């Protein structure tokens, strides 16, 4: 129940600013998605039946309309996945995420970003 309450919540965190530890202007960020991510291999201890697979299978991230990252997931992605990545800023004013899961749910979120951060 607790995991279902977080279902689809997406957070973005900027971990480094341009120039911090990098001469290329690369930045490091993290996207966190609230999702139970059941692999389909877990057994319900009460019913003795397998819990159906239910996980994030696609994630796309953009800065403005420029694609930064595209991921296809599988059963090995943990509950509440955290994706940490490096990218080069294009001066965008917004960052956008879209995640899809195996049940067809689509989760989207957008954040305004400071080009200096």
Q: Where are the domains of the chain?
A: 2-39+51-112
| Residue 116: per-residue pLDDT | 56
pTM confidence score: 0.84
Domain 2-39+51-112 annotated CATH 2.60.40.1180: no
> Using one digit for the tens of pLDDT, what is the confidence trace for 36-86?
999 999 999 999 999 999 999 999 999 999 999 999 989 999 999 999 999
Contacts 24+ apart (CB under 8 A), 77-80: 77/37, 78/37, 79/3, 79/35, 79/36, 79/37, 80/3, 80/6, 80/32, 80/33, 80/34, 80/35, 80/37
């Amino acid at each position: 129940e607790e995991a279902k309450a977080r279902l689809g919540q997406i957070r973005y965190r900027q971990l480094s600013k341009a120039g911090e530890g990098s001469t290329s202007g690369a930045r490091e960020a993290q996207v966190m998605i609230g999702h139970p991510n059941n692999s389909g291999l877990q057994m319900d201890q009460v019913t003795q039946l397998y819990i159906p697979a239910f996980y994030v299978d696609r994630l796309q991230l953009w800065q403005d309309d420029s694609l930064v990252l595209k991921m296809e997931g599988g059963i090995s992605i943990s509950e509440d996945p955290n994706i940490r990545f490096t990218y080069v800023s294009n001066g965008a004013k917004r960052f956008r995420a879209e995640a899809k899961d195996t049940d067809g749910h689509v989760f989207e979120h957008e954040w305004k970003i400071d080009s200096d951060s």
